[in-house]
Chain A
Amino acid sequence: MKRVHTRLGLAFAVLLAIGCGTRTGQQAKPATVRGAAHETVTLRSATLEQPVRTAFVGEGSLEVRSEKVGKSRLWLQKLAIEAQSTGDVVEMTIDHVFENRSDEQLEGTFRFPLPEGAMLVGLAMEIEDKLMEGELVESEKARKVYEQILDEMRDPALLEWESGQTFKLRVFPIEAKKSKRVVLRLVAPLHRSDAGLFFAYRAPAGDGALSPERVTLTIDKRPVSFGVAASGGAVRAPTGEMLVKIADEAHDAYVEQTKSGRYYVAHVAPSFDGPAPRPDKPQAMIVLCDRSRSMLEARALEAKTVGLLVDELGPSDRFTVITGDVRARSLPGGLRPPADKAAATAFVDATEPDGASDLGALLAAAGQAGDEARAKGFEPVFVYLGDATATWGETRSPELESIARRSLGGAPLHVLVLGKSPDDASARGLAAATHGRLLRPKTEDDARRAAQKIARARTARRIEDVRLEAPEGLEVASELPGTIYEGDDVTVTAFRPASKDERPGEAAPELRLTGSLSGKAVAQKIGFASALPARDVARRWAKARIEKLEREGDAKKEEIVKTSLEHGVMSRYTSFLVLESEEAYARFQIARKAKHDANGDARVTGRDLDGDGRGASVSPDHLQPGDPEVRIPAPADAQSVVVVFPFGETKTATYEDDGRGGAWVVRFLVDAHTPDGTYEIVVRITHRDGHVEIQKLAYVVDTQKPNLDVSIRARSDGRYEISAKQRLSAEEIAAQAPSAEGSLEERRRRYAHVLTDAKRAEVRTPDGQTIALTHVRLGEFVGTWTPTEPVARGAKLRVVAVDRALNENAIDVVIP
């Protein structure tokens, strides 16, 4: 791979100069730049430096609502960022401490902006002075658990994907005059440039919301003064980001060896031999805005993006805008100068997103506008903003691609994918068919970068009809764009599963990239032979795979969940759930991550007991009374998975690919006379390569009847309102939380959300009706009885409660 020659001591001025180049876009041929350290380096020719890739784009916020002051943001008392680089990414722990200075107990929503390209891999929250690690759980299950304990809970938390790059976490309670600590763990890309690798972060906004004194930042264990240039070698980029150098050189490829196989990541930088295009005409940017109903949530970003695109035009360039739903509408006045930007955004804003989307009609209208532009001496450049989901007129992707090729007269259609549920395949097809760029801006900053790329696309060299060929046995998760422009930051990830046939010293795999450059066929190799070992490569592969699968929608949900849980990378279909105690995790049968024995003597094979703790876990999510089932998501190719039960029996699990993602499964019987309590199963996984992993899993035996407090209220219309609420008995608490301390009431309060488990309640009335009560919240049921005959004095209702373990209790209650 071609790379600029850099040496130790290369000054940051070089980078800044490159940054300037990006802003002006004037460097069209090789140039030399003199750095502050008086070293002269040769820059790559017309390459436009990538915008700064930021690892930390801002702190999280905790928005609260109170009766006294309404909605507000909680004071961020302290922010600690710990960053540890590995390869060309950085593992970050971002520790927020918020302070509730009010005298009210509050409920809040924590939101965190995830940097582009980053992945969320952990969440922890301080609960009663103890930092509780969250667990990644399939979203539906997480939501069920969360809702089950919602109303009784003290501190459970659920972090879910909200939209784009934003995740939200509901936090309750935030006690008066106390602090609340929320810790996020993520892996983010470092900024790559010819000058090396940099940790980039956004400095404080200067509005006083977060002063540098309250922030600590350590990078690779070195303290760095937050927001201060020259601290720890930090400099400020022209675009405002602070840059801290991590390494002098950005390596091309990295590899991570796991028990499953080898994961690779490589940056694709193909050679672009030949002259760069030199346009001889000004451009006419024709912006197509999908304003159908599906764009409702993205309408603001769409309008903003139109303005950003116009901002990138030169004074001699022109633009027009066409909006489309079931019909296309053009901005009155034809081609306009950039100065008319306000008219463009106003025109888009005036069209409320509604109705269906006739993408074919929009493309046809664009074609007409393109013809008009050519007639006036402009080179048309088409930009589509939308979800590429055609629901009216022509809806077939191949036909739409054909319309685009035909209507646009060979000009590129750059596709900016917006909207909640885009048709990614269609978007890719349109961009590839016309050799346009495919970009997915999620924020305004993304949109700004996208606009810059589009504005300069016609002066950049490009490889069209890009294809990636992989050897057999290599699973490539990334999808390359149909056209690669010079300077594009394209990454490819691949996985080669461990194989019995693998031989030591076997050559690393290679990918082959093919395409056409200026009409000539080109083929280039992407090799992994020089890959350096690094952590998180498997996770990056998983992230790419998840993104690829997410583009196929809900149909791939199971695969997405499996990949997400296996690699500990959050997805749209998985959430981080934090419960207040280990008992709570056991109660809701949420497996805790493996806790490996730290005893060095026990490392029999030297590498077996110090795994990364995120590969396998034990999950009895199908537990049933009578004959429970234990599912262990160990690799399918493990030699054996042996389960040792607390009653002394050992069973061998078998791998079952049952449509739920596949797992090692074993069933066992709980003896009818087993005392109540929490029991521990020990699992020994012998992996394919012989290394051994020990995991533990708790299960609860519960034979205590659920007790209900029942109240009956006669209504004026002759009906009765019946409500029942589970009240934990001392025996229930003693059986399942034997170490609990305090009075019975204190223990009830503390364990109510963990041990409350009544699932069904019904009432037999004196007139012979059986009424199923409605489960309204955790442990609470309500219903209404309409007697069919007069109710005798002293008559009784029989209330039956059933808990999750199918324990039953029948209670007779006198009707008042």
Chain B
Amino acid sequence: VKHGFVLLAALALAAIGPRAGADEPRSGARVLTDLDDARACRPLAAGGFAVATGGGLAIVSKDGAVKTLTSLDGLPDTRVHAIAGEGDAVWVGTEAGAAIVSLRETPKVTRVIPSGPVHAVHVSPSGAAYLGAWGAGVLRVASPEARPETLASGVRGTRATAIADHEGALYVAYADGPLAKLEGGSLRAVTGSPTHGQALASVPGEDGAPRLVLGDLEGLFRVGAEGVVPIGSVDARGIAPWGAGMLIGTYGAGIVTGSARGALRSLSGAPPFVRGVGVRGAVRCAATTQGLLVDRGDGTLEKIALGGPPSNDVTALAPNGGRIAVGTFDAGAAIFERGSFSRVAGLEPNESVSAIAWQGARLLLGTAHGLVRVEPDGTARRLRAQDGLPNSFVRAVLVLANDRVLVGTDGGPAIVERDRVTPLAAIEKTGPQPLASPMHATWSLAAADDGTLFVGTTAGLYWGKDGRYERASLASGELLDDWVTALAIDGDDVYAGTYAHGVTRLRFAQRRYDARPAAKQLGGGHVNPDGLLVANGRLHAATMEGLLVRPKDDDAAPWTTKRDASPGRDVTAVRFVGGEMWVASRRGIGVR
């Protein structure tokens, strides 16, 4: 206990809550996003909190109920960076622009200002809103209905990270330039300020007069008549006035309090990585990489478990009965079962998972550090290059018959039988030659019923068995792109999804894989790894432009983009589970 605060550590451990971050947006799809990826927060006038997260805007009511808005609810993007306001409406900054969200009755988006990422929003005492657009300077919106106007600027910074009013003047912190002050209608650099600004606030000084405090990657600074004075080495990401001093959210040192003269003190027990803080009277909150911390005014800091998958950057889905394994780019994997997520054992907390497959009750995960085999009892075995894999970076996993597994690595494919690894080899005149080279990184795998293997690499598609392989490529004229990221087999057809040129259908008459196939280019954009699925008579492609669907038997039919299928445009996987379609994206999962 320090300075009257009590941190409820036990609550802080409940990172994955029973609600699992699920919400029902207006599109009708259920979303599963990681709301513990909190980026900013504000206590609301009506009680409760507004929380900007990587998985949407979460409105936590006074009674603890959580309502989440994502792009499926009209936000420009599901990733929300900033919040301003506390009354009937709040401004939010998202990855694709800003929006006004009305908090009257059910929260809803009432206005959208599309743009690039907006990392800073600020509502001045006059009611004008200022939006810090990443790469495009600062926009002023005089009233909720007014058109945005770009502020004139004489500074080199374009990536605004924080905006504050101080003694009647507007200040802007930039990630790529010095602090700026609005003078004479134009932003001008504050002499001597550091150039990696992250947070900014006007806070009370010890004499009661306000002091401007700038958080920069280089440290914490007081800006005033005496110049720019360093007052701490912390990496401040959020600053708010607090009592006679300030509350600081830091990236690495947790929550800190102090005065504008320095004398910083850490609050013990808080998560180390804090992205934002909010204060309203005696109520305060902190947005951290591990969720939301709130103090409802009684000096007790508690964690509000918002839950969801381990990360919003979902890379892989693998259903198995009533369970669905979910792999993420930066936070390992979890199993979704009976409405909640539980983390997969044997992985590092920030493990990068590229592929998932079930081998009975055993879970196989392709990661940047090898193939991880997790047994039903939770024990894990990791195979890497030193165990015989062509490369430790495993990008694809395919379970074959007879307890064998085919893995695709950055150094080529290999067969894994328990702990024995055998690189896949082509029989040449000179003997077996592994299908491995820096240009043969394997991204996708498939197997036909007769045992023919299909290996999608960065140098084209290989197929064959027993050491004899054919290759389709850009040179052979069958592919439009050699980087084969996804494969799906349906009868005579093999669909090859590519990184930059959509899907190619290779039709093998009567499944004669020793003959050249007939190729048909279907288009479809950038297909993500393991992003093809044939189901219900349709071909589904998870692409960077969204989920694309087309009838598999109608060559003339166009692709249909399912924009309301997931909370993110960049769709990474699609699977059907029971009667539901699960669509994974870089912004979480949509279920409908």
Contacts and interface: CB of A to CB of B under 8 A. Distances in A.
B252 A686 contact: yes
Contacts of B229: 601
A350 B238 CA distance: 81
Contact of A762 (B159, B273, B475): B475
Nearest to B272: A640
B14 interface: no
A352 interface: no
Contact of B192 (A599, A672, A762): A599
Contacts of A279: none
Interface in A620-662: 624, 626-627, 629, 639-640, 642, 644, 647-648, 650-652, 654, 656, 658-659
Given A644-B196, A659-B386, A694-B217, A764 B228 contact: no
A488 interface: no
A466 B440 CA distance: 55
A362 B404 CA distance: 58
Contact of A692 (B218, B275, B458, B499): B218
Contacts of B348: 654
A800 B439 contact: no
B119 interface: yes
Contacts of B439: 759-760, 802
Contacts of A602: 194, 218-219, 230
Contacts of B486: none
Contacts of B526: 672
A520 to B, nearest CB: 51
B369 A658 contact: yes
Contact of B252 (A626, A629, A642, A644): A642
B143 interface: no
Given A640-B252, A667-B330, A648 B175 contact: yes
Interface stretch (A300-308, A603-611, A777-785): A603-611
B219 A604 contact: yes
Interface string A316-350: 00000000000000000000000000000000000
Given A602-B194, A647-B117, A770 B218 contact: no
Interface string A770-792: 10000000000000000000000
B475 A764 contact: yes
Interface in B360-397: 368-369, 386, 392
Interface residues of A, number: 50
B386 to A, nearest CB: 7
A763 interface: yes
Given A648-B159, A692-B218, A605 B233 contact: yes
Nearest to B501: A808
B476 interface: yes
B459 A599 contact: no
A181 to B, nearest CB: 33
A608 B458 contact: no
A685 B446 CA distance: 43
B452 interface: no
A703 to B, nearest CB: 9
A648 B117 contact: yes
A694 B459 CA distance: 39
Contacts of B175: 644, 648, 682
A798 B477 CA distance: 9
A597 interface: yes
- Mostly helix, strand, loop or mixed at chain B's interface? loop
B134 A770 contact: no
Contacts of B159: 648
A806 interface: yes
Contacts of B194: 597, 599, 601-602
Interface residues of B, number: 57
Nearest to B218: A602
A652 B235 CA distance: 13
A684 interface: yes
B233 A608 contact: yes
A387 to B, nearest CB: 32
Contacts of A598: none
A810 interface: yes
Contacts of B471: 770
A690 interface: yes
Interface string B438-480: 0100000000000000000011000000000001011111000
A772 B196 CA distance: 48
Nearest to B586: A669
A800 B475 contact: yes
B544 interface: yes
B233 A690 contact: yes
B481 A644 contact: no
Nearest to A656: B369
A770 B219 contact: no
Contacts of B117: 647-648
B483 interface: yes
B251 interface: yes
Interface in B211-225: 217-221
Contact of B227 (A601, A652, A658, A802): A601
B232 interface: yes
A691 interface: yes
A806 B499 contact: yes
B218 A694 contact: yes
A809 to B, nearest CB: 9
Contacts of A644: 175, 196, 217
B350 interface: yes
A640 B217 CA distance: 13
A692 B216 CA distance: 12
Interface in B337-365: 348, 350, 352
Nearest to A809: B474
B34 interface: no
A627 B232 CA distance: 35
Contact of B475 (A659, A667, A759, A798): A798
B81 interface: yes
Nearest to B161: A648
Given A597-B218, A601-B228, A800 B352 contact: no
Contact of A770 (B273, B476, B481): B476
Contacts of B483: 806, 808
Nearest to A654: B350
Contacts of A642: 217, 235, 251-252
B329 interface: yes
B302 interface: no
B192 to A, nearest CB: 6
Nearest to B196: A682
Contacts of A806: 458, 482-483, 499
A642 B216 CA distance: 13
Contact of B233 (A682, A692, A759): A692
B47 to A, nearest CB: 30
B232 to A, nearest CB: 7
Given A642-B251, A686-B235, 18 more contacts: A597-B194, A604-B233, A640-B272, A652-B273, A654-B348, A667-B352, A669-B329, A669-B586, A671-B570, A691-B233, A694-B196, A694-B218, A764-B477, A770-B475, A798-B475, A800-B473, A800-B474, A810-B474
Interface of B: 81, 117, 119, 134, 159, 175, 192, 194, 196, 217-221, 227-230, 232-233, 235, 237, 251-252, 272-273, 275, 289, 313, 329-330, 348, 350, 352, 368-369, 386, 392, 410, 439, 458-459, 471, 473-477, 481-483, 499-500, 526, 544, 570, 586
Q: Closest 4 interchain pairs by CB?
A: A604-B219, A604-B233, A640-B252, A764-B475
21 contacts: A597-B194, A597-B218, A599-B192, A601-B227, A601-B229, A602-B219, A640-B252, A644-B217, A648-B159, A648-B175, A650-B251, A651-B330, A654-B350, A692-B218, A692-B219, A802-B459, A806-B482, A806-B499, A808-B474, A808-B481, A808-B482
Interface of A: 597, 599, 601-605, 608-609, 624, 626-627, 629, 639-640, 642, 644, 647-648, 650-652, 654, 656, 658-659, 667, 669, 671-673, 682, 684, 686, 690-692, 694, 759-760, 762-764, 770, 798, 800, 802, 806, 808, 810
